[in-house]
Amino acid sequence: MVAMDLSEMEVVYQHPHALVDMYTHFCPGCTHGVAHRLVAEVLDEMALSERTIGVASVGCSVFSYNYLNIDFVQAPHGRAPAMATGVKRVLPDHIVMTYQGDGDMISIGAGEIVAAAGRGENITVIFINNANYGMTGGQMAPTTLPGMKTSSSPNGRDVEQAGYPILACELLSTQQGASYIARRSLHDPKNIRMAKKAIRLAFETQVRGLGFSMVELLSTCPTNWHMTPVKAVKWLEEKMIPYYPLGDYKVHPTISELKV
């Protein structure tokens, strides 16, 4: 490769300030990292880091407090929305976000998330849906697709026995207190750009005091899906998106008029 004089060039993209420059525990190709980066970019762009408090959850999401360069508290499994509520009610001028996986948010924490949405709690939830429990080794999650094999559904999820996936956006968008509910995917450049815009709008919702905001990010788990990262993004596109349609499920009128 021909060496180029970097000082003569403009930086098109660099590591966001709100993301700590450190090696993560994520497996190669895991799109948790993309989600972290997008959150960090939005925090940088909106200059929110100095007044944001993150609430980490349990699962692969647990170490978000190490990776995002903001104050953090770490919640028991599923309880992040409740803990975020406690922070927000005491510090209403601060920005409070939770970062939760699917097992955390819509299985063990289903009560807390629905209650927070119903209350119109003015917090932002970043919800990573990778269709399994990643941290514990790929067990069936509430989001596991019908027929999908996991370590605890070795013959594929049998809906007769284990029921159907829970559709978080569809569920939460029915709550009057919810102001921004969107589902995006992290499988390709175009969708990653759209995911970032959704994260931006979710934080814009909170900054404006409009109530509960949540962005569901369809995400890969190459290790537990037993695929290469490249195959995993293809699988996400082909299998997950048909089940979890992308789009805006609820957008407050003020936000729908916003240009970002």
Site for another protein in 169-228 (CB under 8 A): 188-189, 192-193, 222, 228
Rounded to the nearest whole angstrom, what is the least distance from the CB of residue 225 to another protein in the complex? 13
Among 45, 46, 49, 258, binds another protein (CB under 8 A): 49
Other Cβ atoms less than 10 A from the Cβ of 253: the count is 9
Smallest gap from residue 201 Cβ to another protein (A): 18
Phi, psi of 192 (to 5 degrees): -65, -40
**Of 39, 53, 126, 181, the one binding another protein by CB under 8 A:** 53
Q: Whole-angstrom Cα distance, residue 137 to residue 126?
A: 22
State the Cα–Cα distance between residues 180 and 212, nearest whole angstrom. 7
Q: Which of 42, 52, 130, 131 binds another protein (CB under 8 A)?
A: 52
Joined together, the tokens standing for residue 60 give 């692969």
134 touching another protein, by CB under 8 A = no
């970062």: which residue's tokens? Answer: 99
Q: How far apart are CA 132 and CA 29, in angstroms?
A: 16
Q: Is 250 in the site for another protein (CB under 8 A)?
A: no
4 is a contact residue toward another protein (CB under 8 A)? yes
142 scored as a contact of another protein (CB under 8 A): no
Binding status of residue 13 toward another protein by CB under 8 A: yes
132-133 and 95-101 beta bridge pairing? unpaired
Task: Pick the closer one to another protein by CB: 179 or 191.
Answer: 191
CB of 82 to another protein, least distance (A): 4
Alpha-carbon span 126 to 195, nearest angstrom: 11
* 136 scored as a contact of another protein (CB under 8 A): no
> Residues binding another protein: what is the number (CB under 8 A)?
75
> Segment near another protein (CB under 8 A), from 19-27, 142-150, 169-177, 250-258?
19-27
Closer of 130 and 153 to another protein (Cβ):
130
Q: Is 47 in the site for another protein (CB under 8 A)?
A: no
Q: 183 has which bridge partners?
A: 216, 247
Could you say which of 39, 42, 60, 79 contacts another protein (CB under 8 A)?
Answer: 79
> Which residues 82-101 are close enough to bind another protein by CB under 8 A?
82-91, 94-95
Strand partners, 200: none
Length of the chain: 260
* Cα–chain center distance at 166: 16
CB atoms within 10 A of CB 13: 6
